[in-house]
A and B are shown apart, each in its own frame.
Chain A
Amino acid sequence: MQAIKRKKQKETIIEGFFLICAFVAVISVLAITVFVFFNGLKPFISNSYSLWDFLTGVEWRPGSNMFGIFYMIVGSIFATLGAILIGVPVAIFTAVYISELAGSRIGKMIRFAVELLAGIPSVLYGVFGLGIIVPYVLKISPMAQGESLLATILVLAIMILPTVVSISETSISAVPKEYREGSYALGASKIQTIFKVVLPAARSGIMTGVILGIGRAIGETMAVMLVCGNPIAGIPTSLFDQIRPLTTNIALEMGYASGVHQELLYSTGVVLFIFIMIINLAVNKLVKAKVGS
């Protein structure tokens, strides 16, 4: 009896240990959230700067106490949207090719190439952007300016490719063989099988890939900083306008900002944070809703 009791005890201790490990993720999120929200909301609570001016202002001039980030929010949204519109379809179709159409040897090669693309640090995308994309945009831009929303979209689209491809591909190839056989047996073609059975069945994995892709696009800082122009005002009205996404605003000035200026950079972080929360919630609900019916 004694041995069994001790074994039982050992099990619960280790289960507790596992719980703590899982909980570390929660603790770190809470710590970061509290830290960012606390510092981010301080200026508005002690109303040394009005939240309304902060969220709707279109000029960022710390020197003359003007802190408007509306034009940055618009910039971030346009850049991420553009990157998703270009990057996600290309990524999902590539994932379909790798797991469904490619022979096992070619599939393996492309999978390796995509994992390589995932390994390339975002800084090198920035350097590539600076070296190739910016001069190219310079040529075709009416503003004779390489740094632009278009350059940012292209860099971000390339960057989210590997994330979306590798995660989507894993979940597509995890769809059971029986579904494909069932579909073929009913006289469906290969393409119909892929788009009517396999992709819907792999939806949750693909959706995860898209979430991470969006997260990476909205959160990218270093690569974007080299190609976006970082103007101090101006809502982008054309692809060739410059933008200052929320992330670069933080990275550019966090090192040296102090006092209200630093706190309002934390507030920029809060806005970014809320974006991510919204995206995660929206997509979680989407994934649960589809599977349930």
Chain B
Amino acid sequence: MDTNIKFNTKNLDLFYGDFQALKSINMEIREKEVTAFIGPSGCGKSTFLRCLNRMNDLIDSVKIKGEIIFDGKDINGPIDVINLRTRVGMVFQKPNPFPMSIYENIAYGPKCQGMKDKNQLDNLVKESLMKAALWDEVKDRLNKSALGLSGGQQQRLCIARTIAMNPEVILMDEPTSALDPIATAKIEDLMSSLKKDYTIIIVTHSMQQAGRISDKTAFFLMGEVIEFNDTPIIFTNPHDKRTEDYITGRFG
């Protein structure tokens, strides 16, 4: 499966002030695959995820060295961050729909990029909601406030509004950790169906989730990538002892 590489990270270091959160990360993330990042909390998996769409820019004490090649260009260099984020969408741990109607939430992204045509927006909203498997539940209250939805529905709304941007990559930072098992299952089915169109990179605490939905898994520890391989190998016979200890739950 040598589909071309989406993200090619070369000895990436990241510092919060003088604390080094990421140590020389080298990783090639393939297109149209689900890559999972696992590891104990504070190991830097979320930090690395946020590097991929430059969300760490919001924190002013961050210093980054090394390269992340995306589509031939190093995104750590001077690039149009706005354009990068339209192509690399992100879903957060706690669902954060805007305090607007469901319709407005989804139309928000495209409108920011200048889409004005009414029915073009309507189709996009409908399409995104169907892709996010939320259309049937909300199709008759599109102008009701999004804050009225349940946790699971809100997260799927966030996924829908990300899809509305028609991104190439969708980053997910522990998307189901705040949801109940039923909603989690719905999100997981959704992800496997999204795999056809989008490269998905997900940070998760639950190894079962990683096992179920990801093609490749990277194990992070203390800011380093200990092992990065096909998911079945990672979970059945990991090369590194530390990965094995983490997988069998001996520490972490």
Whether A and B touch (Cβ < 8 Å) is answered with yes
**A interface residue numbers (CB < 8 A to B):** 176, 178-189, 192, 196-197, 200-201, 293
Bound Cα distance from A66 to B100, whole angstroms:
55
- CB within 8 Å for A186 and B85 given contacts A181-B58, A293-B145: yes
Minimal Cβ-Cβ distance residue in A for B143:
A293
Are A184 and B85 interface neighbours, CB within 8 A? yes
Can you list 14 pairs linking A and B with CB atoms under 8 Å apart?
A176-B96, A182-B97, A182-B158, A183-B112, A184-B58, A185-B55, A185-B85, A185-B92, A186-B89, A187-B109, A187-B165, A197-B108, A293-B101, A293-B145
- CB within 8 Å for A188 and B108 given contacts A178-B96, A182-B98, A200-B99: yes
Chain B residue numbers with a CB within 8 Å of A187 are 82-83, 85-86, 109, 112-113, 165
Are B145 and A183 interface neighbours, CB within 8 A? no
- Distance in Å from the Cβ of A292 to the closest Cβ of chain B? 8
Given contacts A178-B94, A187-B86, 7 further A-B contacts (CB under 8 A): A178-B96, A179-B98, A181-B58, A182-B158, A186-B161, A187-B112, A188-B108
Chain B residue numbers with a CB within 8 Å of A188 are 82, 108-109, 112
> What 3 pairs between A and B have smallest CB-CB spacing?
A187-B86, A178-B96, A186-B109
- CB within 8 Å for A196 and B143 given contacts A181-B92, A187-B165, A293-B101: no
Minimal Cβ-Cβ distance residue in A for B105:
A182
In terms of DSSP, what is the predominant structure of the interface of chain A?
helix
- Distance in Å from the Cβ of A182 to the closest Cβ of chain B? 5
Are A182 and B100 interface neighbours, CB within 8 A? no
Are A196 and B58 interface neighbours, CB within 8 A? no
**B interface residue numbers (CB < 8 A to A):** 53, 55, 58, 82-83, 85-86, 89-90, 92, 94, 96-101, 108-109, 111-113, 143, 145, 158, 161-162, 165
Chain B residue numbers with a CB within 8 Å of A197 are 98, 108
Bound Cα distance from A293 to B104, whole angstroms:
11
Chain A residue numbers with a CB within 8 Å of B55 are 181, 184-185
Are A183 and B58 interface neighbours, CB within 8 A? no
Chain B residue numbers with a CB within 8 Å of A293 are 101, 143, 145
Minimal Cβ-Cβ distance residue in A for B97:
A182
- Distance in Å from the Cβ of B116 to the closest Cβ of chain A? 14
Chain B residue numbers with a CB within 8 Å of A178 are 92, 94, 96
Minimal Cβ-Cβ distance residue in B for A292:
B145
Bound Cα distance from A152 to B90, whole angstroms:
52
Bound Cα distance from A181 to B55, whole angstroms:
8
Chain A residue numbers with a CB within 8 Å of B83 are 187
Chain A residue numbers with a CB within 8 Å of B101 are 293
Are B96 and A182 interface neighbours, CB within 8 A? yes
Bound Cα distance from A234 to B123, whole angstroms:
59
Bound Cα distance from A115 to B166, whole angstroms:
46
- Distance in Å from the Cβ of A102 to the closest Cβ of chain B? 13
- CB within 8 Å for A185 and B98 given contacts A196-B112, A293-B145: no
Chain A residue numbers with a CB within 8 Å of B162 are 185-186
